[in-house]
Amino acid sequence: MATLLLLPGDGIGPEVCAEVRRVAAALTPDLKVEEALYGGASYDTHSTPLTDEVRDQALASDAVLMGAVGGPKWADAPRHLRPEAGLLNLRKAMDVFANLRPAYCFEALAGASSLKPELVSGLDIMFVRELVGGVYFGQPRGIEDLADGQKKGFDTQVYTTSEIERVGRVAFELARGRTNKVHSAEKSNVMESGLLWKQVITELHAREYPDVQLEHILADNCAMQLVRAPKQFDVIVTDNLFGDILSDAAAMLTGSLGMLPSAALGAPGKPGLYEPIHGSAPDIAGKGLANPLAAILSFEMALRWSLKQTQAADALLAAVKAALDNGARTRDLGGSLTTAQMGDAVLAAL
Ligand code: IPM
Ligand code: MG
């Protein structure tokens, strides 16, 4: 029996994960759902955002689904013990190097975008963000005192050939099942690591994926093109930091940050880490106002990518679309449904 580890975390995380539980009970009753403390919630109890036990539990499960992490309550916790550090440590421990971040526009929500509906209607981009390398983890890093009394803050952006190749492969493989087009975004005009990125992707493409259409794009131009004509993109592969920024921008184009899931994948057979793209939204936490669809769709991705239950995933995706077509809207979508009522709408459609 497959195991899903739920890490509800902080803010609205527990509320949206409760809806995942209900959906899982109805859709995949054989799936064993476990739950553990994580993030600020873990810090409050165990003085660390991720205990060794929970890390090991994650590594031993088939898929891990997080709610959300962080909040103003832990702003003053030591940096290495902040909720966000727990997230980065978990990504690293699970070695989930390929972060799939879809930005797709649900037809019922095309009017909710900040761009004209015709620019986003039918939008379907898949970001593949490198997730366990680059400037997020590069050494050395720190804040040092200088002789003249100033301080110096520094980080290291670093990528090796194999780190670029493995995430590149994920992008090319994905593209083959879509419209066969990959954009690779870097700053090869300025950064050495960007130059290497471009060279490695070029060689990988020529060697293993000549059938896929590849375009290199500078990351700043990519940002511009995303808000100018986003439908030109299909798969975009990029590094950890650019992927963080570009995927937020693309997600918002769909008018629905509260709607989008993500999947972080490691080597085949290893558990994936699934999380809604939205944050912990402390301002609305505990009020039943959060949209649970991003978490529910993260479960959909877990079914598809880790649990290999394609039929259940298809059924869940169809149910979410049907609920939206039937007019189900939480507050972020201009409606008045509570978190649980949105869960009800999905369950009814299921
Ligand atoms: C994300 C978030 C995280 C990141 C933070 C919370 C550490 O912004 O998942 O995009 O920067 O990766
Ligand atoms: Mg981010």
DSSP string, 138-176: -SS-EEEE-TTS-EEEE------HHHHHHHHHHHHHHHH
**Is residue 95 annotated as part of the catalytic site, yes or no?**
no
Per the annotation, the verdict on 124 as an active-site residue is no
- Is residue 122 located within the same domain as residue 250? yes
Assess whether 2 and 77 both reside in one domain: yes
Residue 326 domain-assigned (yes or no): yes
Ligand 1: nearest atom to the Cα of 88? 7
Shortest-distance Cα residue to atom 12 of ligand 1? 244
Which is nearest to 298 in space by CA: 64, 127, 10, 107? 64
Q: Are residues 248 and 310 in the same domain?
A: no
User: Which residue owns the Cα nearest ligand 1 atom 2?
Assistant: 244
- 4 C-alpha vs ligand 2 centroid, how far in Å? 24
Query: Residue 30: which of 333, 326, 307 has the closest Cα?
Result: 307
Ligand 1 close to Cβ of residue 87 (< 6 A): yes
101 to 51, 80, 232, 344: CA distances (angstroms): 27, 26, 17, 26
Q: Quick one: which ligand is closest to 264's CA? A: 1
Peptide bond into 140 cis (omega under 30): yes
Rg, C-alpha atoms of the chain: 20
Residues 247 and 109 in one domain: yes
The answer on 177 and 138 residing in a single domain is yes
Kindly state whether residue 328 falls inside one of the protein's structural domains: yes
Residues 113 and 250 in one domain: yes
84 lines ligand 1 (CB under 6 A): yes
17 close to 295: Cβ distance less than 8 angstroms? yes
Of 99, 101, 244, 246, the residue with max ligand 1 atoms within 8 A of its CB, to mutate for a pocket test, comes to 244
Nearest Cα residue to atom 6 of ligand 1: 84
Q: Is residue 319 part of a domain?
A: yes
pLDDT, tens digit (0-9, with 9 covering 90-100), for 230-259: 999 999 999 999 999 999 999 888 877 788
Beta-carbon contacts of residue 30 (< 8 Å; ≥ 6 apart): 1, 2
Count: domains in the chain:
2
* Ligand lying nearest the CA atom of residue 130: 1
Domain check: are 81 and 116 in the same one?
no
Domain that holds residue 242: 101-256
Domain finish residue from 236, 256, 276: 256
Residue bearing the CA closest to ligand 1, atom 7: 84
Pocket probe mutation, ligand 1, options 66, 80, 84, max atoms within 8 Å of Cβ:
84
Give the span between the Cα atoms of 247 and 201, in whole angstroms. Answer: 20
Ligand 1 binding pocket includes 90 (Cβ within 6 Å)? no
What pLDDT was estimated at residue 216? 98
Size (the chain), residues: 350
Q: For residue 87, which ligand has an atom nearest its CA? A: 1
The 3-class secondary structure across 10-56, one letter per residue, is CCCHHHHHHHHHHHHHHHCCCCEEEECCCCHHHHHHHCCCCCHHHHH
CATH number of the domain where residue 78 is located: 3.40.718.10
Of 256, 276, 306, which residue constitutes the final position of a domain? Answer: 256
Q: Is residue 190 part of a domain?
A: yes
Burial group, residue 286, by CB count within 10 angstroms (0-12, 13-18, 19+): exposed
Identify the pLDDT of residue 111: 82
Tokens of 14: 């527990």
Cβ count within 10 A of residue 332: 19
Among 1, 25, 14, 2, which Cα is nearest to 346's? 25
Q: Are 88 and 3 found together in one domain?
A: yes
The answer to whether residue 104 is catalytic is: no
Residue 147 CA to ligand 1 center (angstroms) comes to 34
Residues 139 and 284 in one domain: no
Q: Give the domain-ending residue among 256, 288, 307.
A: 256
Concerning whether 52 is annotated as a catalytic residue, the answer is: no
The rounded distance, in Å, linking the Cα atoms of 288 and 286 is: 6
Residue 261: inside a domain: no
Indicate which residue of 234, 239, 244, 332 is catalytic: 244
3-state secondary structure of 251: helix
Residue from 66, 69, 87 to probe ligand 1 pocket by mutation (most atoms less than 8 Å from CB)? 87
Shared-domain flag, residues 3 and 43: yes
- Same-domain pairing of 190 and 275: no
Spatial distance between the Cα atoms of 104 and 241, rounded to a whole number of angstroms = 21
Q: Is the same domain home to 340 and 318?
A: yes
Measured CA to CA in angstroms, residue 31 lies from 3, 62, 92 at distances of 6, 10, 26
Q: Known catalytic residue: 145?
A: no
Antiparallel, parallel or unpaired: β 124-130 and 272-274: unpaired
Sort residue 242 into left (φ over 0), alpha (ψ -120 to 50) or beta. Answer: alpha
Please choose, from the candidates 102, 85, 62, 130, the residue with its C-alpha nearest in 3D space to the C-alpha of residue 273. Answer: 62
List the pLDDT tens digit at each of the 350 positions of the chain. 899 999 999 999 999 999 999 999 999 999 999 999 999 999 999 999 999 999 999 999 999 999 999 999 999 999 899 999 999 999 999 999 999 999 999 888 888 888 999 999 999 999 999 999 999 999 999 999 999 999 999 999 999 999 999 999 999 999 999 999 999 999 999 999 999 999 999 999 999 999 999 999 999 999 999 999 999 999 999 999 999 999 999 988 887 778 899 999 999 999 999 999 989 999 999 999 999 999 999 999 999 999 999 999 999 999 999 999 999 999 988 899 999 999 999 999 99
Looking at this protein, which amino acid is placed at residue 20?
Answer: V
> Is 109 a domain residue?
yes
